[in-house]
Structure 1
Amino acid sequence: MAWRTCVVLLCMTAVLADSDWLEVKIEQGPVRGRKHRGGDLYAFYNIPYATGPTGEERFKPPLPPPTWTDPFNATAEKIVICPQNGLIFELFPNILDVKEDCLVANVFVPDTTEKDLSVFVYVHGGGYNSGFGNFYQGTQFVGAKKDFIMVTFNYRLGVHGFLCLGTEDVPGNAGMKDQVELLRWVQKNIASFGGNPNDVTLVGSSAGSASVELLMLSKSAENLFHRVVPESAGSLAPWSVQRDPLDNAKTFAREINELAVVDDINSLEQFYKTISIDALTAEPFETRTDSSLLFGPCLERNTNGAFLTESPLSIIKKGDYKKLPVLYGFTNMEGLLVISLFDTWKVKMNENFSDFLPADLKFESDEERQQVADTVKKFYFGNDPVSNESVLKFIDYYSDVTFNFAILWAAELLVKSGHDQVYLYEYVFVDKWTPVVPHTDDVRGADHCAQSYAWMDPLISWFPQTPEYRKMRATVREIWHNFMKTGTPVPQGSSLPEWPALGRGSSPHMVLNETLQLRGVLLPERKRFWDSIYDKYYQDSVPPGSGAESVALN
């Protein structure tokens, strides 16, 4: 009887694989995926990779995932997302399913009989406060190449994922621990889908990009992946790690309940553990003038299971991390992310520019702060007020303080620490559908994470694809695919221009446009300017309750 059962099961599996369905056996039980509407691949949606703690346990690390015996149909019509502000529901009406236990993965498998396929895991962005794994699917890319598997996933967001009190029940970094747990799940299960757990590339954009870099620096994620692609953000950005997480927790508690008791840590913890999840996510995401976020990763106390106990700057400078191949860069107008605020902010900048200095700078006095503000404003805007005529300088300023300097600084320090596999680029491609920058006649620039849109397949595509855009997309996909397969963006034998790794002189970098161009140092004058500021005034992050301190860089 046993052999007959085995024969039946083998036949069923063969039928499933040859039809519109594919069934695989993972550690939790059998999972069924379905042929994607675009063909050439199978899609598995909403597979629980862990169990998200709920109720008063909601800030703890993820728990083991559920198990089952009957096949799990990974074909849900709605997209599971983690609790977040309601703005996202205006973009995606009627297709989202919000769950407090939201830790699910999506796996996209090419229609091939090949095994030991490369794997890339994508970490979504959204300022650590919004987004979901299935926003980018990469299905065209997967189906066309047929030699790799893609995994996307959710992680806890905002206060739900990044409240950091330093207590046993709220240690901090729940969202980052979700990401580590996903990578462990991939190691355990990706072979069942035909993937190679020893060939994993980790990719992220925006906050996902900073996450990718932090994962490379964290001992808790070591050996879970083998190459990293941080797109348009880095771990040294003023928003990427909380400067003073306990103060942020108190501030937010007062914002959502002015009667909240915040000075006693036990009362503050109880407030967050007992308030509804809806109340925690009701406040709209706020773009702050100092390029900071209330909630994001933090330095934890040195306890069992901690994700990060030392600042990224310290880890990088000491070289105390596993040095993996890194494909690293940004667009030429990252600051377009806040262009909608320009008409309001230009007035405020002229009134008090010091409010717009990045949050990771600390000064001994108001006079010193004002002096630095005057120096920075003059560097970007000269002696003139911020106005419509200086909108491009405004974009440069926010590109640098929010994204560019952090990436250039980290890249330089990575190389100094002995990291010889860092490849740097600037993405500059635009076409006729790229919006003109406001208050200019015909200036266009590549917006925040434009390179991610170029090679991935977002759920929403805002502009038609011109022949020029399709050509650029093919080039970016070739580069990313090369890196995923070989650890270099342009391997030997490629038709693309030679692209050496970054050297100690912060050169070279590749300009990604219709024609690729290898150039020297990227934004040298602006980088030197911010070096002079950060050398003197940088404030490193501290664990909860430590009190922010100014830390010398040298």
Structure 2
Amino acid sequence: MASVPHIHDELAANPERVIVDTKYGSVTGGRAKNGTAAFLEVPYALPPGRFMDPEPLPLDYKYERKEYITEDTWAFQPRRDGQAAAGSYHVDQVGYGKPSENPLFVNIFVPPSFPSQKGFPVKVYLHGGFLQYSSPHRITYQNQFVAADRSEVWVNVGYRLSAFGFLACDEPKVNGNFGSKDQWVALQWVKENISAFGGNPDDVQLIGLSGGAHAVHQNLHHVSHLPESVKSPFHSAHLMSNAMVLTPKTRTEMRPQFQAFCRALHLDPTSSTILDDRAVPAETICRTIESKAAGPNNSTFRGCIDDDWLPSTTDTMTWQRSGAFAQALKQKGVRSVNVGDLTDEWYFYSTSSVIEKPADIVPNLERYYQDDIAEKIMGQYEALGDDATPEECARMFGRMTSDYQVHLPVRLLARDLHNAGFPVLRYEIRWTPEQNRTDGYVTHGTDTYLWHLRLPSLEPSQAEIARAWIRRVNEERIALERAGKPSRANNEVLALCEDKSIKWVEDDKWAEKMRLLVTLPGEV
């Protein structure tokens, strides 16, 4: 049993049930201890085929007649470095139940006043985990408290991860971006169905943490290329501690990873055997990723250019810099973007991979970046001697990856939107609750307790700070949307300061981080 009860436990302990009528039939949920209505693992798409694009629910689909109140499944995924030795997943990280190749469901949290009140703002949440790990069931993502406190409907999206979500190749053709396309189908489902759960489909914010923020950025780019008559299914976006910094690889560029991975599975890369879940069980795929048998630089799977998701006719980051990206977002109905980071992001990233010597750094950078970019990144930092300690090597890797995963891309996105006159709010978090920090650092993900108002993990005074912070960010966002343009300079951020005050300050890291632009194509 988890130390803090999961929503799964709360719903089991409360006999009250809530029935919602949807176009796919009735859905029965329960109520949390605080009265929030919750519906767990509601399907938004048909069960997917392995390495196949998701299919929306057909019009004649009918939901199974059962209670949607349990955490039964989560996406198949490798264990993180360090977890594999432990031999099991922790329930607080992925939820109860067992892994599945069908994580295409949403968890919905609705304010206690439902159904007598409706029309609530909607927050759609894409969980973090490098696009490789985690689950919408993760304890810190459970939204019964923030839904009740702020009278908002929260929707946590399950999507395919790691190789199951992002393996790609041109020959043989494997489309890739399956996890991203899952998210898009979920957004369409929200647009069409959330009113049945009390949500306002015309007030939807797409939110993502870490890998989820990277996914939000990709969704923004996808929106910017929609056909002229098609509007965005969401109206604002919030990127927490991540964004895109480079144009994704093409499927052709992904071919070496695909071939290496197939060989690690003892498969012919030209055959279709990997598609067969009977011939190649999901557990075997996960173990192969964990073993890094394909090489450390081939054990992380990311999005690609595939024309169905992101077009090859326009370079993604050139499009963003040009101002056409921001203009297209406005035309599609996206009214604002929030983006921000924390002061000690480096510490989390220093622990995200096993880095014991200087030679370990480049192969692990190549998990995320093209080979030439990885070498350029290395050139921006002081060289480590051959006698560098594992701690020094890990810290250097943390500095590099936090800069290129978080600090630089969030500034880059804010700059490009700001320069195009798009309403963008950039923030910085310099304080998080002391008891929730990792080894004392205000590092990656420790702000989750604030954004999700995780009351069991907050002191009363800290909860008030969280409320004030969320309220202020929302007020600033609304003001920006009304103005229709940025209100602050590029180098200003709304900060949650060390003394717990909230105020606009100058970004004292702007020059330090933006100097790294010299490593990026098209920036110099």
Give me the TM-score of the superposition, normalised by structure 2: 0.79
- Counterpart in 2 of 1:90? 89
Q: Which 5+ residue runs of structure 1 have no aligned equivalent?
A: 1-18, 438-443, 493-499, 539-551
Match of 1:548 in 2: none
What corresponds to 2:285 in structure 1? 280
Confirm whether residue 294 of structure 1 aligns to residue 300 of structure 2: yes
Alignment-derived partner of residue 53 in structure 1: 48
Cα distance change, pair 144–289 in 1 and its aligned pair in 2 (3 A): farther
Q: 2 CA distance for matches of 1:73 and 1:250?
A: 43
Q: Is the 8 A contact 2:124 2:206 kept in 1?
A: yes
- RMSD across aligned C-alpha pairs, in angstroms? 3.8
Q: Decide whether the 8 Å contact of 2:357 with 2:389 is kept in 1.
A: no
- Matches of 1:413 and 1:39, distance apart in 2: 42
User: Which position in structure 2 is the counterpart of 1:507?
Assistant: 491
- Structure showing greater Rg: 1
Counterparts in 2 of 1:354 and 1:207: CA distance versus 1, 3 Å:
closer
In the aligned structure 2, how far is the partner of 1:199 from the partner of 1:285?
40
SS of 2:212 mapped into structure 1: helix
Offset, 1:131: 1.5
What is the TM-score of this pair, normalised by structure 1? 0.75
Kept in 2, the 8 Å contact 1:176–1:307? The answer is no
Alpha-carbon separation, structure 1, partners of 2:164 and 2:51? 6
Q: 1:407 aligns with which of 407, 410, 420?
A: 410
1:37-436 mapped onto 2 (5 Å cutoff): 38-54=33-49, 58-65=50-57, 72-85=65-78, 87=83, 89-92=88-91, 95-112=96-113, 113-135=116-138, 136-146=141-151, 148-166=152-170, 170-218=174-222, 219-220=225-226, 222-236=231-245, 244-257=253-266, 260-262=267-269, 264=270, 267=271, 269-273=272-276, 274-284=279-289, 294-300=300-306, 302=307, 305-309=308-312, 310-318=314-322, 319-320=324-325, 321-323=328-330, 324=334, 325-340=336-351, 345=355, 348-349=357-358, 360=369, 363=372, 369=375, 373=378, 375-377=380-382, 395-416=398-419, 418-433=420-435
Following the alignment from structure 1 to structure 2, what is the Cα–Cα distance between the partners of residues 70 and 239? 37
Aligned mates of 1:97, 1:352 — CA distance in 2: 33
Give 3-state SS (helix, strand or coil) of 1:377's partner: coil
Q: Distance in 2 between matches of 1:242 and 1:337?
A: 30
Shift in Å, 1:515: 0.8
Q: Partners of 1:48 and 1:423 in 2: how far apart?
A: 33
State the AA in 2 paired with 1:360.
Y
Corresponding residue SS for 1:199: strand
The secondary structure found in structure 2 opposite 1:23 is strand
8 A Cα contact 1:424 1:502, kept in partner: no
Equivalent of 2:447 in 438, 448, 451: 451
The verdict on how the C-alpha distance between 1:282 and 1:363 changes in structure 2, with shifts beyond 3 A counting, is closer
The offset of 1:393, in angstroms, is: 6.3
Query: Would the alpha carbon gap of residues 209 and 192 (structure 1) be closer, same or farther in structure 2, given more than 3 Å must change?
Result: same
Question: How many residues matched?
Answer: 477
CA contact (8 A) 1:429 1:445 kept: no
Q: Distance in 2 between matches of 1:391 and 1:275?
A: 35
Cα distance, 1:217 vs. partner? 1.0
Query: Counterpart amino acid of 1:90?
Result: Y
**Secondary structure, aligned partner of 2:176:** coil
Superposed CA deviations along residues 448-480 of structure 1, whole A, max 9, x for unmatched, are: 122223221679x7xx53455323322233235
Q: Once the 2 structures are TM-superposed, how far is the Cα of residue 222 of structure 1 from its aligned partner?
A: 4.7
- Counterpart of 2:4? none
Give 1:519 shift: 1.6
TM-superposition CA deviations, 1:417-442 (whole Å, max 9, x none)? x14311111111045425575xxxxx
1:521 alignment counterpart: 507
Secondary structure of 2:381's partner?
helix
Letter in 1 for 2:104: L
Structure 2, gaps ≥5 residues long: 1-14
- The 3 A distance-change label for structure 1 pair 480 and 278 is farther
SS of residue matched to 2:124: strand
CA distances 1:96-122 after superposition (whole Å, capped 9, x unpaired): 232322211111111222222211100
